Structure 1
Amino acid sequence: MPLLMMCGFPCSGKTRRVEKFVEHVRTSTDLQVNVIFDEFTTFDKNTCYSTPSMEKVVRGSLKSNVERLLSKDCLVIVDSLNYIKGFRYELYCVARQLKTTHCVVQCECAAPQAKDWNKSRDNKDDCYTDEIMDALIMRFEPPDDRNRWDNPLFIVLPEDEFPNGGILDALLKRVAPPPNQSTQSKPLSSAGFLHDLDRRTQEVISAIMEGQRTSFVGDSINIPNCSEKLTLNRHLTMGELSRLRRQFITYSKMHPVDDSNKIPTLFVQYLQNTL
């Protein structure tokens, strides 16, 4: 069954909208529905969103729950900020691997209104601090329906009726995109593949660092043994590239390709989609 990703500022009305939508789905269809929320165990939300490492744990929990619950018999709704486009892309890949549809709903509201709603919560322990609220709003990467992982996209304003019918049509009446080589699950490959994966991704990073030294922001960078060029909207540090390389290697270990010559192109596609 499909995947619905909610998206928006903190306190923009996502959970309230989800509750109404779930009620509509359960009264008008026979679908089983599972809603996945942020899980804060040892620490509260302000602590978890205060550092990248702790926030990564929260996103990892969300993704693992999607992978566990998403099936042909269940509609999964991710009721979280989902404000990082790279994370929405990861969830899209999970849905595509399982050959199911997805869509994104952005609860759009002005930052001052979201802050007011945050302060008006009955449970003050559930409020975001001003510092965390400002930081999350500043880092928010709005969905763009030109990106396949953000399409179909429904943008809902506070005064709008929630488009229950349109969302269900988008989830149930569309044909799911077929898995491609970057999302199709395969058994873990040999040590030779892992060696090539390490070597070829390092070669791509070296080419990017060299290309950045001789080009301007927005120029295309030629990558050896790659069928695509990489265009960056800013210069990347070695630390950023190394982190993205580790993420790609982890993903590729679980989804290896049958031809290691494709690794540079797939890595460049991953970088272009994530950045």
Structure 2
Amino acid sequence: MQPRNNLDQASVIPDALKDFTIVEEPFYRASGEEVALFEAAYRMRIPVMLKGPTGCGKTRFVEHMAWRLGQPLVTVSCHEDMTAADLVGRFLLDADGTKWHDGPLTMAARLGAICYLDEIVEARQDTTVVIHSLTDDRRILPLEKKNEVVRAHPNFRIVVSYNPGYQSVLKDLKESTKQRFSAIGFDYPDDLAEAEIVAKEAGVDSAIASALVRVAQRSRNLRGHGLDEGASTRMLIHAAMLTRQGIPIAQACRMAIVLPITDDPDVREALTAAVSVCF
């Protein structure tokens, strides 16, 4: 399959964005209408929010869509120490004196790329407000320290993701931020689809993949009973990849699923029992 550019106008990717271009198709198995929904929002320049649990495929979906649309993808992993300057840029001192350096958000807006803010809820609210002027009909980014207003390139889009399961009074998006986005909900795939993904990504047979999915289902049943979240699809892929290196499946599950997901000895014992039953 060749990438398809759905833009109204042909575009040439600037040299500065070449390293952000996805050349090979990232494997993604659609589970609903998310591809069509994203493309519709993209054509209308509507910001998109991806909501779903950890490791369910949100980031892979964005990578796939960037490839499918033939657009560069600038990804920012958000965290609580991230400042507005980390996004928009700052003056730095070099051999020629003080020089302005665009941040990832400014670069994407100025040159034309998809800017993906991964787990945006992890960033402070006073940081995320800098995207507001880019997510309404103004599509501008004021650089106050530089006394410049960047008008977003026609190909600029902004996508954010977050895990609703981690919402709290202290860690959530402002309503003024949420309501600027359309949203696509994600969840773990159904059993057959998830087994297909694990088999494809890890290069294992369907029997191992299906058994790992059964382990995941049992862990997800423990959500709210000792676990904040169950095993993600990503964890299953890691366990399957370890088996390809000759690690016994029970040990691979303990290393990739049981130990990372919890420190509670009782929950670990329950998960270890689930692994024994499934294999």
Query: TM exceeds 0.5?
Result: no
Instruction: Give the structure with higher Rg (CA).
Output: 2
Greater strand percent: which structure? 2
What is the TM-score of this pair, normalised by structure 2? 0.27
Q: Compare relative contact order (CA 8 Å, sep 6+) and give the higher one, 1 or 2.
A: 1
What is the TM-score of this pair, normalised by structure 1? 0.27
